[in-house]
Amino acid sequence: EVQLVESGGGLVQPGGSLRLSCAASGFTFSSYEMNWVRQAPGKGLEWVSYISSSGSTIYYADSVKGRFTISRDNAKNSLYLQMNSLRAEDTAVYYCARDGGYDYEDAFDIWGQGTMVTVSS
């Protein structure tokens, strides 16, 4: 079964750091581009970051640029998001999402269940 499982969320104080992980299974992880997408409580979806299959190309939303770092370990079938200098407005459910590749170009075809990040003092 194709699956993405996020972990690492929790409660953190403003200015703090957190590292999210996303474990992939059921597909050849190293062949797919990956993304992080977040959803603030009661709000819509917001794309956060992209990483190419090799990790050589990375993009960020302006709202997190300079504070968040996306990375991947293809040997461990894992995607990461290092979040520093966290703000209250970063409070959200964070989803890892697979880019559909040649099958579903530039669409997010597989999503994890999400991990909640709460930034509060």
Partner 1 sequence: QSALTQPASVSGSPGQSITISCTGTSSDVGSYNLVSWYQQHPGKAPKLMIYEGSKRPSGVSNRFSGSKSGNTASLTISGLQAEDEADYYCCSYAGSSTNWVFGGGTKLTVL
Q: What's the closest the beta carbon of residue 21 comes to partner 1, in angstroms? A: 16
- The DSSP line for 4-72 is EEEE--EEE-TT--EEEEEEEESS-GGGS-EEEEEE-TTS-EEEEEEE-SSS--EEE-TTTTTTEEEEE
Total residues found in the chain within this entry: 121
Q: Can you tell me the distance from the alpha carbon of 69 to that of 21, in angstroms, rounded to the nearest whole number?
A: 12
Pick from 31, 40, 54, 59: which binds partner 1 (CB under 8 A)? Answer: 59
If one asks whether residue 62 binds partner 1 (CB under 8 A), the answer comes out as yes
Q: Return the residue of 95, 115, 117, 119 that touches partner 1, per CB under 8 A.
A: 95
Task: Determine, following the binding rule CB under 8 A, whether residue 27 of this chain makes contact with partner 1.
Answer: no
Q: CB nearer to partner 1: give 42 or 121.
A: 42
Q: How far apart are CA 2 and CA 59, in angstroms?
A: 25
Write down the least CB distance from residue 92 to partner 1, Å. 13
Does position 112 bind partner 1 by CB under 8 A? yes
* Binding-site ranges for partner 1 (CB under 8 A): 35, 37, 44-47, 50, 59, 61-62, 95, 97, 100, 104-109, 111-114
